[in-house]
Chain A
Amino acid sequence: MKSAKVCMVGAFGVGKTSLVRRFVHQQFDERYHTTLGVKIDTRIVDTSKEPVKLVLWDMEGADPFEADKRPLARIRSYMKGAHGLILVADGTRPPTVKTALGLYHDFCRESRIVPAIMLANKADLTAEWRFDDSVMPDALSLYHTSALNGQNIEEAFTALGESLSAL
C-alpha cells in the first residue's frame, strides 16, 4: 500500500490538531491546546486507484511575529520529505491565510512541488467569517471546513489522497 507523509501546516490556533482528530478519530474537543512539536497519526483513504495510507504530521503552529525562531526551524525540519501538504487557515482570522501561504512558498522554494490543498477552517462560525476566496492561488484547491461539525473534512483529505495516489 502506498504510504504518504502529509504535513498539516499553518498558524497557531487555526485548528490543525482538531482537523486531524476529527478525520482520524471522529472526535472534537472545544478546548484550545496548543501543539508543541509534532504528532504523527495515520489513516487509510480509499481512492479511485488504490488505498493510500496518509501519515499525517500534525505540527505546531507558526507565529510569524514570534521573536523565537526555533519553532519555525522545527516546522521546516518536519516538512522535509513531505509528499503532500494540507495548509490550514482560520476563516475568521484573515492574517492566518498569509501565514499558511508563506509556509507553502517556503516549502516550494526548497523542495519539489507536491500536491497541496488549503482548508479554510471554522466554517461553522458564519457570523465572524472573513475569508476571501479570491486571494487563493489557482494551484491550491480550497475547502471550507469545520472540525466542529465535520464539514468538508472527508472530502478534502480524500481529494488529497487521490492526488497522492496518482503520483
Chain B
Amino acid sequence: MKRVSRRAAHYIRDELLKRERFIVIALDSGHKIVSVNRSTPDWNLPGLIRGSALPDSLVSLLDAASDASEPMVFPYVEFNDFFVDIHVLGDGESADLVIHDVSEAHENEQILQQRAHENSLLSEQRATLNSELAELNQELFLRRRQAEKASAAKSRFIASMSHEFRSPIASIMGYADLLQTELPDSSNPQALQRASWHLLTLVENLLEQAREGEENISLNPTRFSLDRLAGDIEALFRAQSTAKGLNFEVKSSPAGIEIECDELRLRQILINLVSNAFRYTPQGQVSVHFIHRDDSLYVRVRDSGRGIAPGDIERIFEAFTRVGEDKTSGAGLGLTITRQLINRMGGQLKVEIEPDVGSEFRVAIPCPCIQDEHGEMPSLSGTVLWVDDDPDILSLYQVVLENWGLRVITASSVAQARDLFKNNDCPVVVTDIHLTDGNGIELFSYLRTEQPGIAGIIISGSGAVDLAPEIAGKGIRTFLQKPIDAEVLYKEIAAAFAGG
C-alpha cells in the first residue's frame, strides 16, 4: 500500500465508510463520553450519549485493554441487539472506542458454527452410544457364557441325579424280583416292585421337566408283557380305589402278547394318567383299557370325576399348574410330562372332558407286537465279569446270574476289573458306565484289546445320555438302563454267550 497515492487512499476509505457502520467514541480519563461520531447518521446505539458515563459492559473492555501497548480488538461483542467489533485505542490518560457493526458477518458465521457444534454433539452422542453398545455386547457375551456354563452344570446335575436316583431304585426292584423268585406265593415282593415303579415314575417326571423339552428324552425300547403291565397298573391302584370307594377296572386285549417300546416311559405315562384320574374323582369309577392293534398300543383312561371347563383343557398341560379349586397333593407335572413323553414316542394324546360328567384321555403309541417267546429261562453257563461301584447292585446281580447257572466275577473299580480279567476267562463283561476310577466304555475298550472276542453290555443310570455314538464300533453289544428288566438282561447275556 506504500505506493498508493493519497487520492486513491482517500477513495478507498470513503468507499469503505459508505459500506460499513462505525461509531467512534472519545473518552476522558474518568470513562466519560467526550464525543460520539457515526459513520452513518441513521445508525446509533442507545446509551452512547455525549457527556454520559460509559455503560458497565464497555468499561470492562477498557479494563482489559488498560495494560495493552497496542490497540485491542474484541470481536463479536453483543451490544444492544447488535454484534460489534470493539477496538480500544488508549494512551493511559484517555481512550477512543471504535465500534464496528459486524452483525451480518456474525449471523453468517453463527449459522455455520451452530451446524458444526450440533454435528459434533451428535458425533459425541453416537460415540457414547457405540461405547455403551460395546459394553452391553460385552456384558451380553459374559452373561451368555455364564448361562451356558449354568446350563452345562444343570445338565451334569440332571445326569448325576438320574444316576443317583436310579441306582438305589434299581437295587430295590432287583431285590424285589429276587424275593419273588424265593417267595413265589407272597404278594409282598410284587407290591414292593410296583411301589418302586411308582417312585421311579415320580423321579422321572421331575427329571424330564428339568431336561426342558421332549427332544432331550432318551428312549430305551424293551420287550415286555402287556398282561403284566396291565396287571401291575391294576394292582398299583387297587388299594387307592378301595380306600376311595371307587369302581376300578383294568382290561387289556389281546391276552398273552409281548410288545416292544420303552417300558419305563409307558409306565410313566400310565401312572401319571391313572393318578390324575384318581386325584380328580371323588366318587364313581375309573377305568383303564389297553388294546393292541395294527402295531399300536391304544390306552383309554376314563373317570367320572368333576371334569374341567373346556377353556381350561390346554392349561392342564402347563407345568406346575392346577386347574380349578384343587387342593390335592402333587407337583402338577404329570400331564405336562405325559404329553412330552407321548410326543417323543411318536404317539398321540386326545382329551375329552365334560364338566361334572368325567374325563377321558386316549393315548395311541406306535408299538410293535412281538411273537411270544416268553417261556422258561434255560440254564446258562460261562463266566461274566460284572463291574459296578454299587455293592448292592453287585450282590444282587451276582445272585440273579448265579441262579441262571452263570459264574459271576464282580469288580467295584476299573483297576480291580483289569486285574480280575487277566486271571479269568470272561467272554461277557457287564459294566456300569460311571465308575469311581474311570469310565465303563473305556474299560471295555481296554479289555477288548486284551481279548478281542469278548462281548460287552453297558449299564447306566443316566437316562438323559444318548450313548449310541459313543459305543458305536467298540464291540459293545447293548446298552441297558437302570432299572434293568431281568428278562431283557437274561436274553442279552444268553445272546452274548451264543455269539448272536
Contacts and interface: CB of A to CB of B under 8 A. Distances in A.
Interface of A: 3, 5, 12-13, 32-34, 36-42, 53, 55, 57, 60-61, 63, 65-66, 71, 74, 77-78, 80-82, 93, 95
A14 to B, nearest CB: 11
B78 interface: yes
B60 A57 contact: yes
Contact of B57 (A34, A42, A95): A42
Contact of A36 (B59, B74, B109): B109
For chain B, the bracket of interface size reads: 20 to 34
5 contacts: A37-B78, A39-B78, A40-B57, A61-B117, A93-B124
Given A81-B64, A81-B65, A40 B117 contact: no
Given A34-B110, A38-B78, A63 B117 contact: yes
Contacts of A93: 124
B110 A36 contact: yes
Given A34-B117, A63-B120, A81-B65, A74 B76 contact: yes
B380 interface: no
Interface string B59-73: 110011111000011
A34 B119 CA distance: 12
Contacts of B72: 77, 80
Nearest to A53: B56
Contact of B74 (A34, A38, A61, A65): A38
Q: Which 7 A-B pairs have the closest CB atoms?
A: A37-B76, A81-B64, A40-B57, A39-B78, A36-B110, A5-B60, A34-B117
A91 to B, nearest CB: 13
Given A60-B113, A81-B65, 9 more contacts: A12-B120, A32-B118, A34-B113, A38-B76, A38-B77, A40-B60, A55-B56, A77-B74, A78-B74
Contacts of A39: 77-78
Interface in B119-134: 120-121, 124
Nearest to A77: B74
Given A12-B120, A36-B109, A3 B76 contact: no
A62 B120 CA distance: 12
Contacts of B79: 40
Contacts of B77: 37-40
B56 A3 contact: yes
Contacts of B110: 34, 36
Contacts of A37: 75-78, 83, 106
A5 B74 contact: no
Interface centre among B65, B73, B120 (most CB of A within 10 A): B120
B423 interface: no
Nearest to B59: A3
B114 interface: yes
A80 B64 contact: yes
Given A34-B113, A34-B117, A37-B83, A77 B57 contact: no
